[in-house]
Chain A
Amino acid sequence: MYGLEAISAHNGWAMALAGALIVFSGLVVLWAVISQLHKILKIWDKKQPLLPEDLDPDIEDEPEDAPLISLPKELPSDINEVAKLYKPLIDEIGDTFYLSSLYAIAKKNEFPHPHITLSAFRECEIMIPHGDGVFSWNQPEENEKG
């Protein structure tokens, strides 16, 4: 049996329609919940702490949350100079790292436009990709010496 006849005989139309609706409704519900998640957690936070660090309100003032370096008002135009500013962050997360980790720590330290900078590092081979979002740091000074 082939064609529309086969689809109807095997209940194909109903399966496709129901399947599409179920997966869509499932992800819509998940979207609705996670879009409100941060608001729910804020309300929850006001009532009681969830994670151990919340027990100590001073934890946010600890030095490890403070920016690792002080930044100039504008980043230098030379990408190698910018790379030097990023070096303390690399020392913090290790020479082999996830792109998302470097992005997060750069944002935490208030580096301007980290996504554009990281993209430039990739193009200049200051960051070497190893697949699956893992990169290693290729120090510019070493490049020049090599």
Chain B
Amino acid sequence: MELLFQFLSNTGYYLADYRQIIMIVVGTVFVYLGTAKEYEPLLLVPIGFGILVGNVPFFKGFGLGIYESNSVLHYLYFGVTTGLYPSIVFLGLGAMTDFSSLLARPILMLLGAAAQMGIFFTLLGALALGFLPKEAASIAIIGGADGPTSIFLTAKLAPHLIGPIAIAAYSYMALIPVIQPPIMRLLTTRKERIIHMPELREVSKKEKVVFPAVGVLLCCFLAPASIPLLGTFFFGNFLKECGVADRLAQTARTAIIDTATIFLGFTVGASTQGDVFLTAKSIGIFFLGAVAFSIATASGVIFAKIMNLFLKDKINPLLGAAGVSAVPGSAREVHLVGQSEDPTNYLLMHAMACNSSGVIGSAICAGILWSFMIVL
């Protein structure tokens, strides 16, 4: 009988805490949104299920929890805390990315730079709210709207915030259709939204082969701390474009990125244990994340309008919203908003150019912030 009571006192039913119940509800909502509503299912399903697993109450000391040094989950989490998974995701992302539209219209790269302003505004906001500099930098990078980059920088600067920052970054990426269109409409007139972009010129194979080599050298010389992200990103793209390593490129953009995404999402979800996740800091991070993402979107749109003051061939300012690096969600949203005004307006390829530039821009920002924090 004593054995039975002892067993029962070690079950999740007995050990359950209200914070874990709250997180299980949050996880269930993520899984529901991912499966039933198909909101970013490749992200929300692993994260949501990870939240469920990470919040099952357990007896501390058995080596079960993600924060216990000898647990299986802890070993899987190693890829997050070292920045390994984000780096692998960037390899696959590079092998998926087609830079043709960016090479055909390089000026769109400036919109990717402008959209990074959200990061630096949020850095100030986070410092003002009392976060320490390393925490503030990790929160600010949410403005880049890039999950792996946010996780990478947070793992390096403020590992105790990985859970809330990752959840905030991925949540806002899934909420792109809700957050971005009102900002785009607010900051543009109908006349601007119906601006048609010219067809893109044909880009030669040689340009596409040379670009990753030029890109990695220029970006990583400027911000060497972004090598773990941009090094693999441009390497993946070179595999795709060089034409002699198709098998490697194919593996990088399918099996490798999928494996890394599964473990990244699952372990980040599992890291949101109620007792460490439900804090006042997490609420502050969610608030600042929304601010960062909104400012990033607005910065891109406003900068496109400023560019139009000087350009002969006007740019559709909606494209500025695709300067955040949420690929391809924000590009798709720009295209849809453009089409809602004029169904013959086809902005997707141009928006993808801004999106690609945003990926590069946010990785450079991560490198810059990391470098700044090293000297602090």
Shortest C-beta distance, A145 to chain B (Å), equals: 28
Flag if A37 contacts B214 (CB, 8 Å).
Answer: yes
Flag if A41 contacts B218 (CB, 8 Å).
Answer: no
Interface residues of B in 313-365 (CB under 8 A from A): 328, 339, 344, 346, 348-349, 357, 360-361, 364-365
Task: Give the residues in chain A near B98, CB-CB below 8 Å.
Answer: 98, 100
- In the bound assembly, the distance between CA atoms of A10 and B133 in angstroms comes to 7
Flag if A115 contacts B349 (CB, 8 Å).
Answer: yes
- A17-43 to B contact mask, C-beta < 8 Å, 1/0: 111101111111111011101100100
- A53-77 to B contact mask, C-beta < 8 Å, 1/0: 0000000000000000000000000
Flag if A34 contacts B128 (CB, 8 Å).
Answer: no
Point out which of A1, A17, A51 has the most chain B C-beta atoms below 10 A from its C-beta.
A51
Shortest C-beta distance, A25 to chain B (Å), equals: 8
Flag if B121 contacts A116 (CB, 8 Å).
Answer: no
Flag if B128 contacts A3 (CB, 8 Å).
Answer: yes
Given contacts A26-B223, A28-B110, whether A19 and B365 have CB atoms under 8 Å apart is yes
- In the bound assembly, the distance between CA atoms of A41 and B110 in angstroms comes to 23
Flag if A33 contacts B214 (CB, 8 Å).
Answer: yes
Flag if A34 contacts B214 (CB, 8 Å).
Answer: yes
Task: Give the residues in chain B near A93, CB-CB below 8 Å.
Answer: none
Flag if B214 contacts A119 (CB, 8 Å).
Answer: no
Residues of B within 8 A of A (CB-CB), count: 59
Flag if A12 contacts B113 (CB, 8 Å).
Answer: no
- In the bound assembly, the distance between CA atoms of A3 and B368 in angstroms comes to 23
Q: Does A91 contact B (CB under 8 A)?
A: no
Q: Does B109 contact A (CB under 8 A)?
A: yes
Flag if B207 contacts A37 (CB, 8 Å).
Answer: yes
Task: Give the residues in chain B near A121, CB-CB below 8 Å.
Answer: none
Task: Give the residues in chain B near A30, CB-CB below 8 Å.
Answer: 109, 214-215, 218-219, 360
- In the bound assembly, the distance between CA atoms of A30 and B356 in angstroms comes to 13
Task: Give the residues in chain B near A25, CB-CB below 8 Å.
Answer: 222
Residues of A within 8 A of B (CB-CB), count: 46
Identity of the chain B residue whose Cβ is nearest the Cβ of A33 in the assembled complex: B214
Flag if B107 contacts A35 (CB, 8 Å).
Answer: yes
Flag if A1 contacts B130 (CB, 8 Å).
Answer: yes
Identity of the chain B residue whose Cβ is nearest the Cβ of A40 in the assembled complex: B210
Interface residues of B in 182-230 (CB under 8 A from A): 199, 202-207, 209-211, 214-215, 218-219, 222-223
Flag if A41 contacts B123 (CB, 8 Å).
Answer: no
Classify the secondary structure of A's interface with B. helix
Shortest C-beta distance, A15 to chain B (Å), equals: 5
Given contacts A116-B344, A132-B96, whether A27 and B109 have CB atoms under 8 Å apart is yes
Flag if B211 contacts A26 (CB, 8 Å).
Answer: no
Task: Give the residues in chain B near A17, CB-CB below 8 Å.
Answer: 120
Given contacts A23-B113, A27-B113, A30-B218, whether A37 and B210 have CB atoms under 8 Å apart is yes
Task: Give the residues in chain A near B127, CB-CB below 8 Å.
Answer: 6-7, 10, 12
Identity of the chain B residue whose Cβ is nearest the Cβ of A100 in the assembled complex: B98
Identity of the chain B residue whose Cβ is nearest the Cβ of A37 in the assembled complex: B207
Shortest C-beta distance, B349 to chain A (Å), equals: 7
- B218-260 to A contact mask, C-beta < 8 Å, 1/0: 1100110000000000000000000100000000000000000
Flag if A23 contacts B364 (CB, 8 Å).
Answer: yes
Shortest C-beta distance, B8 to chain A (Å), equals: 45
Flag if A19 contacts B106 (CB, 8 Å).
Answer: no
Task: Give the residues in chain B near A38, CB-CB below 8 Å.
Answer: 103, 203-204, 207
Interface residues of B in 100-114 (CB under 8 A from A): 100, 102-103, 106-107, 109-110, 112-114
Chain A interface residues toward B at CB < 8 A? 1-4, 6-7, 10-13, 15-20, 22-31, 33-35, 37-38, 41, 45, 50-51, 98, 100, 103-104, 107, 115-116, 119, 131-133
Of the A-B pairs whose beta carbons lie under 8 Å apart in the complex, a sample of 5, sorted by A's number, is A12-B128, A18-B372, A35-B106, A38-B103, A133-B96
